[in-house]
A = this chain, B = another copy of it.
Amino acid sequence: MLISALADLSGTPAATIKYYVREGLLPAGAREGGNRTSYDDTHLHRLRLIRALLEVGKLSIGSVSAVLEALDDGERPIAETFETAQNALSRDAVPGVSEPGAESFERADGVIERAGWAHCGDNVGRRIVAQTIDAFAKAGHPLTDDYLDRYAEAAATVASADLDAVGAIADRADRTELMVVGTVLGDTLSLGLRRIAQAHRTAERNLR
């Protein structure tokens, strides 16, 4: 298909498509005779993935590029691709926050241990959790361990759903892609559902 058809099908302006190609996010189309370039379904599929990462996942162009590169490397173990996606996402999610204190790291480690997450290594989430513990305390509302453990229980529920969905897919490339898409979009899904659950509970308890 020509770029105009790709633009129509994907809802992405032709100028934006060309920009993605220049930035290396999207492979160039095939040169046909004259000035024509043709695109196919793989371009459409990739374009939809890019827009999901940019718009709903709020990733920067640089982060999308890092994630797609990991995705396209068929040799890379899936856990490593996953880590790249996690790091890219988390860098954009929690920018420029000051280094958490040692006590907050200890408390984060406490949650991790109580949750039984033995295999998490040097995961980026540990730092995010420590930063959040710090931020609550600095804002004058230190968190209890009970609160942290209930959040951890919810995270375990969500991660099981993620891994079950990923494990149900046979094709490796497709599976890795869902892992990346799910990491990005799952955060937004959690956020949306949390809003509704909070509104329901607030009305239910009739707090004033």
* A residues lining the B interface (CB < 8 Å): 11, 45, 48-49, 51-52, 55-56, 58, 77-79, 82-83, 86, 90, 93-98, 111-112, 115, 117-121, 123-129, 131-132, 135-136, 138-141, 144, 146-148, 150-167, 172, 175, 177-178, 181-183, 185-205, 207-208
Contacts and interface: CB of A to CB of B under 8 A. Distances in A.
A118 B185 contact: no
B52 A189 contact: no
Contact of A190 (B52, B151, B163, B202): B151
A197 B86 CA distance: 12
Contact of A86 (B119, B167, B198): B198
18 contacts: A51-B138, A58-B95, A82-B199, A90-B195, A119-B200, A121-B199, A128-B188, A129-B192, A132-B185, A132-B192, A139-B181, A147-B164, A151-B186, A152-B197, A155-B190, A162-B201, A172-B208, A190-B194
B195 A125 contact: yes
Contacts of A148: 189
Contact of A191 (B49, B93, B121, B160): B93
Contact of A155 (B140, B141, B197, B205): B197
User: Which 6 pairs, one residue from A and one from B, show the smallest C-beta to C-beta distance?
Assistant: A125-B195, A128-B192, A159-B197, A155-B193, A119-B203, A154-B154
Question: Most chain-B CB neighbours within 10 Å: which of A96, A159, A195, A201?
Answer: A195
